Amino acid sequence: MKDYRDIRKSVEEKYDSLLSEFACKNSDAIRIAEDSDEIRPPFSIDRDRIMYSGAYKRLAGKTQVIYFSSLLDEQITNRIVHIQYVAQVARTIGKALSLNQDLIEAAALGHDLGHTPFGHDGEKYLDKLCKEYGIGGFSHNVHSLYIVEKMSYKGRGMNLTLQTRDAIVSHNGEIDEDRLAPDTDKTESDVLKYLDRKFIPDNPDVPMTLEGCVIRMSDTIAYIGTDIEDAIHLGLLSRSEIPQNVSKILGKNNSSIIDTLVKDIIVNSWNKNHLEFSKKTADALRELKKFNYKAIYLNEKLKPERRKIEKGFNILFESFSEDLETGNRNSDIYRHFLDQKNEEYIISTKNAEKVRDFIASMTDRYFKHQLEKITIPLINL
């Protein structure tokens, strides 16, 4: 009778034989310590470790882009919904190009684990505080790597493959790229260098696999149209405001925008060792990004919310820093966070880094709860 390890090997070899010559094969997976008793393929292991982590579960309570404190609307995209959109887009592209679907899914599910509450606004305010406290900057893609490498599972990390960790830290979809080819010469040290928070470049290195490139491109494809739909739903803009020359090429709604971009990248990347948009589509996408930035992300109606969020980050960082300095064991940074971490994390992590990690892990609602615990007693004095 066949041993299940033999079955796994047979299944992996069959799957690898169906992949493009440019795909990352299961046999290419690099993990520091592999469990020889596993029945699952290597990138499926990565996917499951990410999906069952606390960091992944908390994404359901984190803002994607638009936050209004006066409005509870569950039709607005949150962070975990965005991740599912990225996974869906990336799988469609990967399947058409015969790339490794397991690696794509693992990277998609893990790419935003390090996002703060309140989306990119929260990231900006936490970055500023980290620099003020002398612990380097804050970038969500770097923090996502930090979570899977060192912080999750009580501080043990997830022990993911190199290819998945690389796709996570290199995913930044904010970058304008018409063409993206993998850097196949990258090594473990090229990925781990990001864990030094002093090294956070504006533009992360390109991924080492074509699957990682798919995630980076899919991130943009997934959010560009949904941000418009959310903004229209909330009354921040109207569909007629979308530039006509853009809508003629890409479409006027999320469905048509995704359809156009996905088809374009598949057609122009077919049987190539890189991903590429046509020039017409790339130019339209670039213009749409500029439109979104001005009409949505810098919208004047969001300014009051941003001021409140920034004040909240300052109050929480200062308060939890004081709790650590005074050894206040009744503080929730101990009860809800540090008491669940292993001794190595406690010893090797600076106080300001512990505060950073605690705040970054919060959902929007938990953040507001902590802020109320601190500020309401002060108001009642």
Higher pLDDT, 86 or 233: 86
Domain boundary among 274, 301, 328: 301
Q: Please check whether residue 8 is in contact with residue 44, taking contact to mean a CB–CB distance below 8 angstroms.
A: no
Q: Both 142 and 201 in a single domain?
A: yes
Q: Both 129 and 274 in a single domain?
A: yes
Higher pLDDT, 291 or 7: 291
Where b means 16+ CB within 10 Å and e means fewer, 227-249 reads bbbbbbebebbeeeebeeebbeb
Q: Quick one: average pLDDT of 321-332?
A: 96
Q: Both 82 and 166 in a single domain?
A: yes
Q: Quick one: average pLDDT of 320-337?
A: 96
pTM above 0.75, yes or no: yes
Positive or negative, the CA dihedral 32, 37, 41, 43 is negative
pLDDT at 7 over 80: no
Instruction: Return d(Cα 305, Cα 71) in angstroms, integer.
Output: 11
- Residue 298 CB neighbours (<10 A): 10
Neighbouring-strand partners of residue 162: none
Q: Both 222 and 92 in a single domain?
A: yes
Domain that holds residue 75: 4-301
Q: Both 151 and 270 in a single domain?
A: yes
Q: Quick one: average pLDDT of 91-116?
A: 97
What tens digit of pLDDT does each residue of 171-185 get?
A: 885 667 789 999 999
**Into how many domains does the chain fold?**
2
Q: What is the band of 381 on the pLDDT scale with cuts at 50, 70, 90?
A: very low
pLDDT given at position 71: 52
Domain boundary among 301, 320, 345: 301
Q: Both 286 and 328 in a single domain?
A: no
Q: Both 119 and 220 in a single domain?
A: yes
Q: Both 245 and 366 in a single domain?
A: no
DSSP state string for 182-227: --TT--HHHHHGGGSTT---SSPPPPSSHHHHHHHHHHHHHHHHHH
Q: Both 333 and 215 in a single domain?
A: no
Q: Both 329 and 200 in a single domain?
A: no
CB burial of residue 137 (10 Å; 0-12, 13-18, 19+):
middle
